[in-house]
Amino acid sequence: MSYRDEQGIHTDFKERMTYSDYLDLDAILNSQNRLSDHHDEMLFIVIHQVSELWIKLTLHELEAAVQSIQEEDYQPAFKMLARVSSIQNQIIKAWDVLSTMTPSEYLGFRDYLGNASGFQSYQYRLVEFALGYKTPHVLKIYEKDPELKARLQEAYEAPGLYDVAIQALAKEGFEIDQSVLERDLTETYEANDSVERAWIEVYRDPERYWNLYQLAEKLVDIEDWMQQWRFRHMKTVERIIGHKQGTGGSSGVGYLKQVLDHYFFPELWNVRTSL
């Protein structure tokens, strides 16, 4: 069947919304503004813009999942968290495309970036906050925009995904230390014995604690993908700029290697050894 045989296809859009209108494609496709005339700067911009769109969807899903878990409505939360893992896989694939850029090609336009750096991605910071990694010094980066700073501050002070998961353990009757349940949410989460004991019981009796068991595995999936993303990021940066300082002033590869050692949900990994 050819296009000409499709008699029902709409072709008159003078008074109708088109695909381009719905997606606001003109705005999106006119946002790749190169500062140099180097061919590969387009690749660099597109990869980072696409990643930011995926991160936007990640935040959309994480925020809804947190609310669902708080309401003990687990099934929608599981679907949202599974979707986050699929998104993470897509973002990781983007590094494979960016790694086709050689050091010489990147040097052809790197100076045009000035101090702009992926380190300044506020959406990525929101993801870290949602996963419980709270670093106060990064908030200073966003003082230029009071509205954005306020949004980050709100997320910085809000319970993250793991906080509501621990609250779910307490609601199920597990004895969780009050120091954890009432902890300062602006501090990065650290492992706690009472939380580990609770997760051990969940893993020992998954049929009894099926929702919590599924939740635990969804969290492990997300952290696993996050670590893979961080590793691919680090290796891509090392492949392109070696151990040079990042454009934003960070140590580059050194900083990226350091954050590889951080665990968002430490007890869920400790459980593997304890069981």
- Binding residue numbers for heme: 233
Distance of alpha carbon 237 from alpha carbon 99, whole angstroms: 8
What is residue 245's DSSP assignment?
P
Distance of alpha carbon 50 from alpha carbon 60, whole angstroms: 16
- Binding residue numbers: 44-48, 106, 110, 233, 247
How many Cβ atoms sit within 10 Å of the Cβ of residue 126? 21
- Binding residue numbers for substrate: 44-48, 106, 110, 247
Distances, alpha carbon 242 to alpha carbons 12, 185, 235, in Å: 54, 36, 9
Contacts of 17 (CB under 8 A, 6+ apart): none
Q: Which residue has the tokens 């696993």?
A: 224
Q: Are 232 and 88 in contact (CB under 8 A)?
A: no
Of 205, 253, 221, 246, the residue nearest 119 (C-alpha): 246
Distance of alpha carbon 133 from alpha carbon 174, whole angstroms: 24
Distance of alpha carbon 232 from alpha carbon 65, whole angstroms: 26
Q: Is 265 left (phi over 0), alpha (psi -120 to 50) or beta?
A: beta
Is 248 buried (19+), middle (13-18) or exposed (0-12) by CB count in 10 A?
middle
SS3 at position 77: helix
Distance of alpha carbon 150 from alpha carbon 37, whole angstroms: 37
